[in-house]
Amino acid sequence: MIRNFSLAVVTFFITALFSMTYAQPNPMHPKNEFRAVWIATVVNIDWPKTSTDAVAKQKEDYIEILDAYKKLNYNVVIVQVRSVGDAFYPSKFAPWSRYLTGKEGKAPDPYYDPLEWMITQAHMRGFEFHAWFNPFRATFDLKKETLSPNHDMVKHPEWMIKYGEKYYYNPGLPEVQSQLVAVVEEVVRNYDIDAVHFDDYFYPYKIAGLDFNDTAAYKKYGNGLSLADWRRLNTNNYVKCTNYAIKNIKPWVQFGISPFGVWRNKSVDPKGSDTQSGQTNYDDLFADPMAWMEYKWVDYILPQLYWSIEHKTASYSKLLKWWSENSNGNAAVYIGNSSYKINTDSDKKWNNPTEIPNQINLNRSYKNIQGNGFFSAKWFLNNSNKTVTSILANNQYKYPALPNVVPGFRFKVEDIPVVWDITTDADIADIILKFPEYDKMRYVIVYGAKDSTKIDVSNPANIIDKITIIEKKGSIGISVPKIYLEKHSSCAISYIDYYGNESEATLLSMTKNSKTILNQITNDKK
């Protein structure tokens, strides 16, 4: 790297006396919006593509997913790190996943820590990384001979209940709850994740004619409650304790849950939705998202509305309205969308390439619905879905967006970027910034405007990039491609802290003036 500060300033990069504007937000192109994709690892749905892929191929395929979704202006990846009592990271509570190495308990060879590597790669591209756990599903089949000696099914068979073709942890046992909270704590403590994420698997989906045999635990711990109320209490206790554990270790780490899309049908509860769902959260999965939001046990809810807008028994539009009306502001509400159904479902509405774009447009008509998650990653990498991705890229997701601030942690960021030094080579400007005095920062946002001396930092069209901060001794650093600055008449940078709050911006610009200016510019929002 060639240090050439004065030449760099003369030729292209300088803090300049331009002005910033703050226009009213555009609801159809929001600056802040949750745009997530689930990356499923169980049975190699999305990644790794096969359980025997070489480490080099695993890395290549994961980066392909990240780069594809960055190009589509997504900002969150939800990666399944524990699916069936296993782990995609070295754990004292679980064996290595067979979906990673082909054999449960076998470490990667050559060795690497997939979780640490995946987080780093995601952050390098500006994604939040949400670590996805299936806490209560212990196995994906009944083949005990394929399990590692370190699997809880082998070490603690008394914790397990056979139901259908799988084994599940018994949520009614206190020792199970403690173990599964510790599983989450291990990851929160050891890894730089942005969130812990659970999906819809608590008590299993009901199988006709089969009972989930937790009778012994119910007799011991039921304490006079009905079986259904006791099961809901077990789920609530686990959610509550998990939340407390996360926030005790790292309060900026979010806790989000993606429940089944129907809380209760209106036919059994007047507060329920106008649906005819065969199973529901409250009555069949013994999960109560309304309680989780009421008591602030989650930072976000991401209900899976995997139906078309006009579906007869579970209408996307009706459910979207219901979730909007029944959110209380204690948690962010995002919507899960079924990209996997495009051109593959018996509901022919999914053959219409505008179904998903129309669902996003409908979401944006509700102020308290703040984004979407899509299941799953491979579907928008599929050539047969290029029409849909093209529509999104040119319309709904034309511009980047920043993730939302963690609910309950919105506050003014006191620090503003101050440029200390710049070093350059032919393509890159390495910028050294004064170390923030008050807050811990994760990203720098780069804005740019063409043919203008004004930058509207509220307009997502002006977002050029989101760059991970590299901490140095007494300072922080970012690397900016010079082409960013050469293509824009003026630029600005701001901080994003670990809670998602954004600072005021410092203005930067190309100039042909040889005079060095390192002036800090701040503007009050209008």
Residue 137 in any domain: the answer is yes
First to last CA, the chain: 41
Q: Considering only CA atoms, which of 118, 119, 113 is closest in space to residue 192?
A: 119
| Cβ–Cβ under 8 Å, residues 167 and 160 | yes
Residue 343 in any domain: the answer is no
Give yes or no: residues 249 and 180 share one domain: yes
Q: pTM of the full predicted structure? A: 0.93
Residue 216 in any domain: the answer is yes
Residue 317: which H helix or E strand, with range? helix 316-326
Q: What's the CATH code of the domain at 152?
A: 3.20.20
Per-residue model confidence (pLDDT) at position 453 = 61
Q: Considering only CA atoms, which of 187, 200, 28, 194 is closest in space to residue 126?
A: 194
Give yes or no: residues 11 and 117 share one domain: no
Q: What's the CATH code of the domain at 443?
A: 2.60.40.10
Give yes or no: residues 12 and 59 share one domain: no
Residue that finishes a domain, picked among 314, 344, 371: 314
Give yes or no: residues 186 and 269 share one domain: yes
Q: Considering only CA atoms, which of 303, 337, 307 is closest in space to residue 323?
A: 303
Per-residue model confidence (pLDDT) at position 1 = 36
Per-residue model confidence (pLDDT) at position 20 = 66
Give yes or no: residues 169 and 190 share one domain: yes
Give yes or no: residues 144 and 269 share one domain: yes
Give yes or no: residues 181 and 238 share one domain: yes
Give yes or no: residues 76 and 177 share one domain: yes
Per-residue model confidence (pLDDT) at position 403 = 95
Residue 284 in any domain: the answer is yes
Containing domain of residue 494, as a range?
5-25+410-508
Tokens standing for residue 378? 């491979």
Residue 355 in any domain: the answer is no
Per-residue model confidence (pLDDT) at position 457 = 93
3-state secondary structure labels for all residues of 428-481: EEEEEEECCCCCCEEEEEEEEECCCCEEECCCHHHEEEEEECEEECCEEEEEEE
Residue 272 in any domain: the answer is yes
Residue that finishes a domain, picked among 253, 283, 314: 314
Average pLDDT per block of 10 residues along the chain, 526 residues long = 38 46 74 98 98 98 98 98 98 98 98 98 97 98 97 98 98 98 98 98 96 98 98 98 98 98 98 97 98 98 98 98 95 98 97 98 96 97 93 97 95 93 84 90 92 82 93 85 81 95 83 32 36
Give yes or no: residues 43 and 171 share one domain: yes
Q: Considering only CA atoms, which of 393, 367, 389 is closest in space to residue 380?
A: 389
Residue 517 in any domain: the answer is no
Give yes or no: residues 465 and 502 share one domain: yes
DSSP 69-112: HHHTT--EEEEEEESSS-BSS--SSSPBPHHHHSSTTPPPSS--
| Cβ–Cβ under 8 Å, residues 351 and 18 | no
Give yes or no: residues 20 and 76 share one domain: no
Residue 6: which H helix or E strand, with range? helix 5-11
Phi–psi pair at 118, nearest 5 degrees: -65, -40
Tokens standing for residue 298? 């989650």
Residue that finishes a domain, picked among 290, 314, 338: 314
Q: How many domains does the chain have?
A: 2
Give yes or no: residues 119 and 18 share one domain: no
Residue 358 in any domain: the answer is no
Per-residue model confidence (pLDDT) at position 126 = 96
